Amino acid sequence: MQTHANIGQARALRIAGHKGSDMAVTKAAYRLMRDPTVLEARREAAVAQVSGMVPRAINALDDIMNDPKSRHHYRATDGVLSRAGLPEIKEHKTTVVHKVDRKELVASIATMVERLGIALDPSKLLPQPVIVKERDIIEAEYIEREE
């Protein structure tokens, strides 16, 4: 049931020929506007109305595309190309840096071990990092032996 913007649903039902008191018409309009059959009919009417607007929309789009100075020219062209199966190719590059703080990791493991009631030293689970400083490097001569 389509209604004009200024006419309420009950008024539209009264115009359609419903007889009865104002309250009866209001209640009937309320029920009808929730009836799946009526809602489907309204949807069909809306689709038909929009389908009828397609030629005007195409003409408006054509006018925009024929005016390169229009501020909507690029968007109209892009929209037509996208709908024709030729969308703009977008490429995104993402760099993910994952830093793990050893102390936090050990603390997290210790918390989990404690919750689970496991007798385990979490610091022994992770290998100790080896840091070699230049001053620790010793140059020497050596002899290989076979045994």
Task: Considering only the C-alpha atoms of the chain, give the largest distance between any 2 of them, rounded to a whole number of Å.
Answer: 116
Q: Which residues contact 87 (CB under 8 A, 6 or more apart)?
A: 81
- pLDDT in the model for residue 95: 87
Let me know if residue 91 belongs to a domain.
no
Q: Which residues contact 102 (CB under 8 A, 6 or more apart)?
A: 126, 129
Domain of 75 in residue numbering reads as 9-83
- pLDDT in the model for residue 5: 47
Tokens coding 62: 């054509």
Are 27 and 18 contacting, i.e. CB atoms less than 8 angstroms apart?
no
Let me know if residue 34 belongs to a domain.
yes
- pLDDT in the model for residue 124: 67
Let me know if residue 126 belongs to a domain.
no
Exposed (0-12), middle (13-18) or buried (19+): which is 128, by Cβ within 10 Å? Answer: exposed
- How many structural domains compose the chain? 1
- pLDDT in the model for residue 106: 77
> Mind listing the pLDDT tens digit for each residue in 39-75?
999 899 999 999 999 999 999 999 999 999 999 999 9
Phi-psi region of 75 (alpha: psi -120 to 50; beta: other; left: phi over 0): alpha
Let me know if residue 124 belongs to a domain.
no
Q: Which residues contact 34 (CB under 8 A, 6 or more apart)?
A: none
Are 87 and 81 contacting, i.e. CB atoms less than 8 angstroms apart?
yes
Let me know if residue 41 belongs to a domain.
yes
Let me know if residue 26 belongs to a domain.
yes
Let me know if residue 76 belongs to a domain.
yes
Let me know if residue 131 belongs to a domain.
no
pLDDT < 50: residue spans in the chain: 5-6
